[in-house]
Each structure stands twice: as structure tokens, then as C-alpha cells.
């Protein structure tokens, strides 16, 4: 009887994919056809019912995810998870995302009640709240012991601000660079020189690093993903087999369960749209219709400054250029589950919040107040208007007008349409600066030359429209590499953009199969060449043992990170051991560990390995000199000995599939035995660092290379047949572990398979499907 009651409860709180549900908020009947992967195709008689239905079906799959986003933004995680999240709440209360969200909601909705995007937004939120009112809550709410409050407009803005935050706090490497410059000497920076900003102070670098680490810690504590990059390209008809434009996009995000994107198709009289939606946002961030399509990559321009506030000796005031200004103080009470509530006072300036208290080390570094001057504190946030207009656009002119409204986040928008137009626009409000170095050093609130100079207009942002080459590609690279103008930013290594560009140049008959092969490509020419070079530098390898056999394999490696190859496992461990042998003695254990998690070390090692005169090859504190060849040989022999011990004495058993694995972790899956129900994986997975099939892992000496981020979708659209577009999710559409669509795409994803993004009703009905009818009362 107990088992039966439990089964009934779990079945009751599972998503509903068929039958009828009567809802008083509907005006007319809405039909939802779920395809075989649980993707809803919504057919409504009007816009209001379409967006109400979208909110209703999305929340039944993703309510817990939506709630975690909201709790993080509001600084209320401790209220449901306890005292371990107090520092996270203080961090987000300091950043002020919830206050920004409230201000945006007040300005764009509550004080302006007739905008065209309002009806869709309110209907979407009504759909969410109608489901919550039914009390069919996922079991997570029962396990934690709380019920969600109704969602409001500010929660939509909060979700967008949280996304903007993840885009703005790019991987920060200043601390590492400043230690090298100051403590080791500029000669150690030869291999880092293109990334180094010489005017940065070491204390300032610590602040940058601590803010980034706190964001990563907070998101990890909540089991939510951070954005880490993306690939995208568009091809005009002159480069394709069909003679029609093609769009390819795979967004790179930290893996989590559920994945970040929710897919849905909406149709009502005069409108159809296939979109990819964020939690609590009614308009697709990525999408397409019969006329046009777009994808995204991060445009990581620098939109944050740290400002040292000039004191006048009064802790309640500071100098703001020529004026004396009082700080504002806001008191919060952080509610703590099963503990005492904690009071918290936030100190803010005209530029932004004072951040000294976020990390004790900041207070120990500075006696003056340090404030975060983030562009979004000074912008209107017209991103909702932009998204609505993007979703409604039917041609290039209207779409371009829509994206000009994107302000709080840096995006490379990649565009293709049925008329064979292709384009790339760098979107977001880019701070106008008088020099490159100004974007990377601390400013002073009393110094006139450090005053905010405003923002570039949309027309001044980097862009390319209908180039003669017939293609455009972006991969979080310096915009110059995509044909645009330079903007200071935190750009990623050029490995991926070089691979894409070189591939696209070679062919004029691209189709979806060829684009799919390129998305899934896991060959690194850089690593191939390095492996061969290293093999030529090895000296005096013993004849006994496995050393010469392994060296031979290394010299012949083609750079492919395939599952059954042994070379990726050899090279990956060797890469770490080279870094450790060359750099750990100078950096020390703590800083070397940080370096292993950065892109800086990954993109520096190739030039370091090729530089035989680098001081990194010398052993610090040792009277004996060492050469590159000696260090490489020691690292190589260590690698062989370690893999022999860990994976066995037969080199053929050292397969990449044994060490490179992917697990999608749910926020509830960190506790046993819930991990068995909530987490998805582990799966052996092909790919690796900075290949196109980017399955990112930290440089490590551990046996298992746990993949932390990679493609959160893989979109392919050929305008010869828009309804035949392809995609895949890392796990599945649902965040409810009782749903058959919780992980029904997980094995397909790691196997490099795709499924359709269906838009034709007949095609959907012809396949496996279920129908849910929502009826008005």
C-alpha cells in the first residue's frame, strides 16, 4: 500500500503530455502536440493563449530550475538550503540583480502598460502561476520543504540579469599574470605577452580573481551552469549545395541537469516560431521561422570596471569627481533555514555597490572602498523589447532593428534568411574608452579622466553583412578574426575560429551532413603538431618498459580525440605533467592549481613548449640547470609510469573512453542516494579542449578527466527545408526525473546523433507523439 501511494504521488507530480486540462485563464482551446522527444508544438487561436500555454508546459518541466534562478537573483538561497549559502546570498545582494530587475519591471511594465510585448509576457507568467496553483509540484519541493511563490515580471528580468552576469565575469587571469610579472620577472612573461596588461596592480588582480571565483562558487553550489563559449557560422547560397543559406550554432555552457535550453514551437493565426528559451523568459533567445534564423555566441567585451573611491576621511562619504557624495546604505535580513537569520548592510555609491565585504581578502588589501562599476547599472535594459521583436521579425531589416535594442549583454548574433542574406552583429552596449589599458586597470572616483564616457552606438559595434567570402564564423574570438573591428575584451584562444574558417574556405558545396561533421570534429592540429614536436625532444629513453612504444604513438598521433584512441589519454596527461614540471615550482601549489583551470595556461603551453630558451625550464632553487629536453623527458616518463599504474601495462588499453567522461549533475544529485535518480551519466565522450566538439576539462593529473562544459545544443538549419532543421539536447527536454524525456537524448548526444526540429504538423503527427488539450472553463 505504501509503495502504491508513493507511485501515485510521483505519477501525479509528473508532467502531463496527454488528455485534457481545464483552465479558467484561457480564452479558447489550445492544443499541445508533444513530439517523440517531449518538445511541445503549441497551436493556439490567439497570441495570449499561445504564451499562456508556453508558460504552463515549460513550468511543468522546469519549475525547480526556474525557482533556483529566482532564489539566486533575490539572494534567498539560504532560506531553503541553509547557512552554507549565506555567502552566496550576500554576493548576489551586493550585485543588486534583484533591485535592477524590480526597477526594469517598474519602468517597462508597471509604468508603461500598453507596450506590444506586455500581453505575451503577462500571459506566459499566468501560465506558470496556473500550474503552481494546481499544487502538482515536483518532488524536489517536498524534499526541501517549501512551496514556490507566484512568478512576476521582475523574475523574468532577474533571469536575464543572471545570464548577463555569467557573460560579464569572463575567465579572469590577471592574478596569475601579475604574480609572474612582479614575483618572477618580465622574462617569464614572454610566452604570455599578448595577454598581459603591464599597468595592472597585483592587489587589483586579486579583486578581479576573487569576484570571478565567488560567481563560479555560487553557481556551482546551486547546480546552475555558467556560459563558457560557443561556435557559430553562417553560409550564403554560393557556399552551399542547396544554393540556400545555412546556419550552424552550438552554444557552450556548463553541463547541468536539466540543461539550460527549453525548446518549443508556437503557432497562432499569422505567426509561427521555433525557439530556445531560458528559464522564466517568454521569448526565444535563439530561434527561427520560415523566413529567418539566428544563433548566438558570447561577445566577451569588457563592461566592468573597478573604481577606488577617494575618501574625504568620513566613512559615510566619498569624492565623485568634483563633488562630495554620501553613500547609500540598505539593510537586509537573510533568512536561514534551520538557523539564525543574518543581518546584512549593503553600501552603494553612484557608480555601483561597494564590494570590500564580499571577500575578507579585499578588505585586507584596501583601506579605501572599492566599487563595481558594471555597465548594466547605467543601462535601461531594453533586452525584453529586443527579444520580442526578434521573435516577431520576418525580414533582415526588422531583425536588425530588433537587435539594436540589446544592451545588457554581449552577444555575437549570427543571422541567415530565406533570401540568402547572412550577417554577424556584435550586440550589447560597449563602453566607450580612451585607451586599451583603461579597461583593465582600477579607476579613481576623483580622477576626471576616469569618468564614464558613455557607450558606442549599435552602428559602431563590430559587424559583417553579406561578405564576398560567402561565410561568417565566430567562436568567442577577437572580432577582428571574424572580419570586424577591434574591441577590448576577454577573448578565447583562436584554435576553434581558425579550424572553422579554414574548413569553410575549402568547400563550396556545404550541406547539413558536412556541417554536422564539422560541429562534431574533434581534431586539433595544434596538439598534433605539439605531440610530434615533443616526441623529437625526448632524450635517452630506456629500451626496457613502455617508453619507446608510447613515444612512437605520440609521434604518429593525428590529433583526433576519439573514444578508442590511446593518444588523447597520453597527450592530456603529458600536457599536465609538462606544465607541472615547468611551472609549479615557480608558481607554488595554490596558484598552479588555479592556473590549470584557466584558458591562459592552455593557450600558453604551445608557445612555451616551442620556446627552448624560456626561463620556465630552469628549476627554481636548484643549483643544477635543466633544459627543455630534460623537462619534457621527465614529464613524458612520469606520464608513462602513471598510466601504466592506473590503466594497466598494455598501452592499447589506455583508451580516451576510460578517462574522459561526462556526468550531468542535478542540484539535488550532490547528495546520496539522490544522485542515482537525479544525475545523468557518467558517459565516455569524444572531444576535448579547444576542438570544435569542445568537451572542456581542467588540466589535471587525476585518472578521470571530468567534462565540465560543452555544447548545450547543436543547431543546423538549411533554408532549402527549414522544417528539416536538426538539433540535440545534452540530456532531454524535462527537468522532472519522472519524465520519459528527462534523459532520452543523453546517449544520442554523446554519440553525435541529432533529431529534428519539426515545424510541420503532419510530420509531427506521423511520428510518435502525444496530444494535450488545454480547454477554457
Q: What is the mean pLDDT of each run of 10 residues along the chain (777 residues)?
A: 52 89 96 98 98 98 97 96 93 95 95 89 98 94 95 97 76 62 76 54 62 71 76 97 98 93 98 98 98 94 82 84 88 94 93 82 73 90 96 98 95 97 96 59 67 85 96 89 76 85 96 98 95 96 94 96 97 96 88 79 86 88 78 96 96 97 94 92 95 92 93 97 97 96 98 97 95 96
What are φ and ψ of residue 370, in 5° steps? -115, 130
pLDDT digits (tens, 9 = 90+) for 587-603: 888 888 878 877 778 77
Cis amide leading into 523 (omega within 30): no
For 255-309, list the strands marked E by DSSP: 262-268, 271-277, 286-288, 292-298, 304-308
Specify the DSSP class assigned to residue 492.
P
Residues 771 and 749: their CA atoms lie apart, in Å, by 26
- 464 is written with which cell numbers? 559583417
pLDDT of residue 2: 45
Q: Count Cβ neighbours within 10 Å for each residue of 464-479 and write b for 16 or more, e otherwise.
A: beeeebbbbbbbbbbb
- 75 is written with which cell numbers? 539572494
pLDDT of residue 603: 76
| Edge-to-edge strand list for the sheet holding 304-308 | 370-374, 304-308, 443-444
pLDDT of residue 311: 81
Return the SS3 of 562.
coil
Give rounded-to-5 percent helix, strand, coil for the chain. 45, 20, 35
Residues 490 and 488: their CA atoms lie apart, in Å, by 7
pLDDT of residue 3: 47
Residues 720 and 377: their CA atoms lie apart, in Å, by 44
pLDDT of residue 361: 63
Return the SS3 of 112.
coil
What's the CA angle centered on 233, arms 231 and 238, to 5 degrees?
A: 165
pLDDT of residue 259: 94
Asked if residues 55 and 47 have their Cβ atoms less than 8 Å apart, the reply is: no
Residues 70 and 157: their CA atoms lie apart, in Å, by 10
Look-up of cell digits 530556445: 276
Asked if residues 328 and 348 have their Cβ atoms less than 8 Å apart, the reply is: yes
Residues in the chain: 777
Asked if residues 130 and 777 have their Cβ atoms less than 8 Å apart, the reply is: no
Residues 95 and 422: their CA atoms lie apart, in Å, by 38
Q: According to DSSP H, which parts of 153-273 are helical? A: 153-168, 174-179, 202-221
- 572 is written with which cell numbers? 592530456
Asked if residues 44 and 268 have their Cβ atoms less than 8 Å apart, the reply is: yes
Asked if residues 541 and 742 have their Cβ atoms less than 8 Å apart, the reply is: no
Beta strand 286-288 pairing with 271-277: antiparallel
Residues 757 and 293: their CA atoms lie apart, in Å, by 13
Q: According to DSSP H, which parts of 304-382 are helical? A: 360-365
Residues 266 and 255: their CA atoms lie apart, in Å, by 27
- Beta-bridged to residue 273, according to DSSP, are 266
pLDDT digits (tens, 9 = 90+) for 70-127: 999 999 999 999 999 999 999 999 999 999 999 999 999 999 888 899 999 999 999 9
pLDDT digits (tens, 9 = 90+) for 297-315: 988 887 887 888 888 778 8
Handedness of CA 96, 102, 103, 104 (dihedral sign): positive
**pTM, whole model, 2 decimals?**
0.93
Amino acid at each position: 500500500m505504501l509503495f502504491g501511494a508513493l507511485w501515485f504521488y510521483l505519477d501525479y507530480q509528473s508532467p502531463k503530455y496527454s488528455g485534457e486540462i481545464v483552465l479558467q485563464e484561457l480564452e479558447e482551446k489550445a492544443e499541445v502536440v508533444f513530439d517523440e522527444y517531449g518538445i511541445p508544438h503549441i497551436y493556439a487561436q490567439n497570441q495570449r493563449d499561445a504564451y499562456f500555454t508556453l508558460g504552463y508546459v515549460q513550468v511543468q518541466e522546469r519549475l525547480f530550475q526556474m525557482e533556483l534562478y529566482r532564489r539566486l537573483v533575490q539572494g534567498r538561497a539560504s532560506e531553503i538550503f541553509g547557512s552554507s549559502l549565506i555567502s552566496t546570498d550576500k554576493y548576489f545582494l551586493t550585485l543588486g540583480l534583484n533591485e535592477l530587475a524590480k526597477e526594469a519591471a517598474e519602468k517597462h511594465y508597471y509604468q508603461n502598460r500598453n507596450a506590444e510585448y506586455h500581453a505575451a509576457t503577462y500571459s506566459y507568467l499566468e501560465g506558470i502561476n496556473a500550474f503552481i496553483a494546481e499544487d502538482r509540484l515536483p518532488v524536489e519541493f517536498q524534499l526541501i520543504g517549501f512551496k514556490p511563490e507566484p512568478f512576476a515580471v521582475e523574475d523574468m528580468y532577474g533571469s536575464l540579469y543572471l545570464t548577463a552576469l555569467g557573460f560579464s565575469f569572463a575567465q579572469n587571469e590577471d592574478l596569475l599574470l601579475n604574480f609572474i610579472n612582479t614575483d618572477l620577472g618580465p622574462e617569464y612573461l614572454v610566452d604570455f605577452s599578448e595577454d598581459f596588461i603591464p599597468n595592472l596592480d597585483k592587489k587589483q588582480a586579486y579583486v578581479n580573481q576573487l569576484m570571478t571565483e565567488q560567481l563560479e562558487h555560487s553557481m556551482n553550489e546551486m547546480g546552475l551552469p555558467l556560459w563558457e563559449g560557443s561556435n557559430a557560422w553562417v553560409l550564403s547560397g554560393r557556399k552551399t549545395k542547396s544554393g540556400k543559406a545555412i546556419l550552424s550554432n552550438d552554444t557552450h555552457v556548463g553541463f547541468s541537469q536539466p540543461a539550460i535550453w527549453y525548446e518549443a514551437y508556437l503557432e497562432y493565426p499569422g505567426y509561427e516560431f521555433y525557439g530556445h528559451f531560458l528559464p522564466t523568459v517568454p521569448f526565444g533567445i535563439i530561434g527561427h521561422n520560415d523566413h529567418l534564423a539566428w544563433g548566438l555566441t558570447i561577445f566577451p567585451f569588457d563592461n566592468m570596471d573597478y573604481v577606488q573611491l577617494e575618501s574625504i576621511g568620513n566613512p559615510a562619504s566619498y569624492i565623485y569627481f568634483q563633488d562630495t557624495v554620501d553613500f547609500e546604505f540598505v539593510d537586509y535580513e537573510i533568512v536561514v533555514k534551520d538557523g539564525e537569520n543574518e543581518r546584512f548592510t549593503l553600501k552603494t555609491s553612484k557608480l555601483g555597490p561597494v564590494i570590500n565585504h564580499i571577500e575578507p581578502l579585499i578588505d585586507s588589501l584596501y583601506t579605501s572602498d572599492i566599487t563595481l562599476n558594471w555597465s548594466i547599472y547605467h543601462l535601461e535594459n531594453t533586452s525584453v523589447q529586443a527579444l520580442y521583436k526578434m521573435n516577431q521579425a520576418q525580414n533582415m531589416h526588422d531583425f536588425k532593428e530588433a537587435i539594436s535594442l540589446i544592451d545588457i549583454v554581449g552577444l555575437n548574433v549570427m543571422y541567415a534568411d530565406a533570401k540568402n542574406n547572412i550577417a554577424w552583429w556584435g550586440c550589447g552596449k560597449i563602453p566607450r574608452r580612451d585607451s586599451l589599458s583603461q579597461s583593465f586597470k582600477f579607476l579613481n572616483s576623483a580622477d576626471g579622466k576616469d569618468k564614464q564616457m558613455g557607450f558606442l552606438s549599435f552602428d559602431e559595434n563590430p559587424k559583417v553583412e553579406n561578405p564576398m567570402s560567402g561565410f561568417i564564423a565566430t567562436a568567442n574570438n577577437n572580432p577582428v578574426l571574424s572580419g570586424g573591428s577591434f574591441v577590448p575584451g576577454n577573448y578565447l584562444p583562436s584554435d576553434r575560429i581558425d579550424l572553422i574558417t579554414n574548413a569553410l574556405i575549402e568547400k563550396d558545396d556545404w550541406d547539413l551532413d558536412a556541417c554536422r561533421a564539422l560541429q562534431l570534429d574533434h581534431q586539433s592540429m595544434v596538439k598534433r603538431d605539439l605531440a610530434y614536436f615533443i616526441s623529437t625532444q625526448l632524450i635517452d629513453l630506456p629500451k626496457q618498459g613502455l617508453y619507446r612504444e608510447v613515444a612512437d604513438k605520440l609521434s604518429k598521433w593525428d590529433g583526433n580525440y576519439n573514444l578508442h584512441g590511446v593518444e588523447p589519454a597520453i597527450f592530456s596527461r603529458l600536457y599536465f605533467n609538462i606544465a607541472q614540471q615547468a611551472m609549479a615550482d615557480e608558481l607554488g601549489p595554490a596558484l598552479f592549481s588555479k592556473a590549470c583551470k584557466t584558458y591562459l595556461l592552455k593557450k600558453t603551453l604551445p608557445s612555451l613548449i616551442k620556446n627552448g630558451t624560456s626561463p620556465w625550464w630552469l628549476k627554481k632553487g636548484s643549483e643544477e640547470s635543466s633544459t627543455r629536453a630534460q623537462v619534457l623527458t621527465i614529464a613524458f616518463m612520469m606520464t608513462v609510469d602513471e598510466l601504466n599504474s592506473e590503466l594497466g601495462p598494455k598501452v592499447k588499453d589506455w583508451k580516451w573512453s576510460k578517462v574522459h567522461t561526462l556526468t550531468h549533475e542535478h542540484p539535488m544529485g550532490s547528495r546520496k542516494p539522490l544522485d542515482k535518480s537525479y544525475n545523468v551519466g557518467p558517459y565516455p565522450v569524444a572531444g576535448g579542449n579547444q576542438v570544435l566538439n569542445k568537451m572542456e576539462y581542467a588540466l589535471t593529473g587525476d585518472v578521470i578527466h571530468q567534462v565540465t562544459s560543452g555544447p548545450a545544443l547543436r543547431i543546423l538549419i538549411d533554408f532549402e527545408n527549414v522544417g528539416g532543421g536538426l538539433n540535440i539536447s545534452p540530456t532531454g527536454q524535462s527537468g522532472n526525473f519522472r519524465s520519459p524525456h528527462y534523459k532520452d537524448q543523453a546517449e544520442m548526444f554523446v554519440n553525435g546523433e541529432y533529431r529534428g526540429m519539426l515545424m510541420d504538423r503532419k510530420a509531427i503527427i506521423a511520428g510518435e507523439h502525444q496530444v494535450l488539450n488545454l480547454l477554457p472553463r
